[in-house]
Structure 1
Amino acid sequence: MKRTQWTIHGEHVVDENRHIRLSTVDVELPDGVKFTQYVVKMPRCAMTLVLNKNREVLLMYRHRFIIDQWVWELPGGYVDHAEDVATAAAREVEEETGWRPQSMEQLVTYQPSIGTLDQPQEIYLARGADLTDTRPDINEAEEIRWVPLDEAAAMIERGEIVGAATVVAIYRALSLAD
């Protein structure tokens, strides 16, 4: 099978900082059609599905102004440049919720929107967590709650969970055999 690729003729950086790189790329399709594509590159993110012995998931309730909606999400965030991804995922759990994961195992890695966005997403599974003295960042969540895994899946169906990482993680966790 012959594989054809797009030809890149040039790239122009529109804006760049430590959180995002926005550029336009001039490309040519195999059939000769040329156009300009916006490309967004963002740092790797690490999220954690913390699952306790009762098969409850640790979720945060927060407002996402970009979609102007209150949603439930997993804790997570950017991985610092040289930081180990699992360490970053565990750090984010503790900073955002006050719970420290007891274990970390890689669950799934994916790209959320490969047509325009390059942002690797890594989801970890933590089995159990210990409550710490860390006060969760008030800017991160309005509420933190343990939710039964089956109920979390129902929350997806009701539109209360819409973020790709949380949806992927919950469905992946449901598929795991105990």
Structure 2
Amino acid sequence: MVEHVKRLKRELVYKGAILDIYKDTMELPDGNKAEWDFVSHRMGAAAILPVMKDGRIVMVRQYRNALERETLEIPAGCRDSKTEDTAYCAAREMEEETGYRSTNVKHLLSLRTTVAFCDEAVDIFVATDLEVGTRHLDEAESIDVEIYTLEELCDMIYEGKIQDGKTIAAIMAYAAAKKGGMGKHLDL
């Protein structure tokens, strides 16, 4: 059984546009104290796996400052408010980033990105019956749209070419659902 840890103090160190960073003073089960970092993601996020009629998947390639390189990911973004429906957010981000839209959006899974120090929650959806919409990137975004087969994406995961956690989780969950192993609610 895990003994309890108690937070004694939380101090705001940095307040950003979507993240707040805190220094927490913790009391450990043995009575010792430790300082832990905590990152609060205020809005939460949503992501979406856009599947074309032929089964290929629409992906986005963009530069990620934290890694100092481009990454291949599923479309995703922060909610506009804490009350924004995550399915709506995911569909909105898909159209903004890829130019595709869909009225057939189904929940795939929910995840927490980095539980050791951050509370970010991401709801991930699958979109089918894609239609061409209007792409409209944010001013600071530069995104390329690329289309791959599910097999190609799985290979890229195992080759280490795709390393984004939400993208890996979405692709692997979708692949399992396609094989009938899970996700019966998706009607694949």
By the TM > 0.5 criterion, same fold?
yes
Residue 102 of structure 1 corresponds to 103
Gaps of 5+ in 2: 179-187
**Runs of 4+ that moved beyond 3 A:** 133-142
Residue identity matched to 1:12:
E
Residue 69 of structure 2 corresponds to 69
> Matched residues in 1 for 2:76 and 2:119: separation?
17
* Contact 2:96–2:134 (CA under 8 A) maintained in structure 1: no
Change (3 A) 1:11 1:61: same
**TM-score for both structures, normalised by structure 1:** 0.92
Residue identity matched to 2:55:
R
Q: Once the two structures are superposed, what CA deviation does each residue of 1:79-116 show, in whole Å capped at 9, x if it has no partner?
A: 12121111011000001111002311111111111110
Residue 58 of structure 1 corresponds to 58
> Matched residues in 1 for 2:17 and 2:78: separation?
10
Kindly state the Cα deviation for residue 136 of structure 1 after the two structures are TM-superposed. 4.6
> Matched residues in 1 for 2:4 and 2:115: separation?
15
Structure 1 position 125 matched with structure 2 position 118: no
* Contact 1:14–1:24 (CA under 8 A) maintained in structure 2: yes
Kindly state the Cα deviation for residue 145 of structure 1 after the two structures are TM-superposed. 1.7
- Secondary structure of the residue that 1:161 maps to in structure 2? coil
Kindly state the Cα deviation for residue 176 of structure 1 after the two structures are TM-superposed. 0.6
- Secondary structure of the residue that 1:36 maps to in structure 2? strand
Residue identity matched to 2:94:
V
Residue identity matched to 2:24:
V
Residue identity matched to 2:98:
T
Kindly state the Cα deviation for residue 47 of structure 1 after the two structures are TM-superposed. 0.3
* Contact 2:59–2:145 (CA under 8 A) maintained in structure 1: yes
Residue 27 of structure 2 corresponds to 28
Report the aligned-residue RMSD: 1.7
Across the two proteins, how many residue pairs are aligned to each other? 177
Identity in percent: 25
1:1-178 matches, within 5 Å, as: 4-42=3-41, 43-81=43-81, 82-136=83-137, 139-177=140-178, 178=188
* Contact 1:96–1:141 (CA under 8 A) maintained in structure 2: no
Gaps of 5+ in 1: none
Residue identity matched to 1:154:
D
Residue identity matched to 2:32:
V
* Contact 2:26–2:36 (CA under 8 A) maintained in structure 1: yes
> Matched residues in 2 for 1:155 and 1:85: separation?
27
Residue identity matched to 2:46:
A
- Secondary structure of the residue that 2:104 maps to in structure 1? coil
> Matched residues in 2 for 1:140 and 1:73: separation?
14
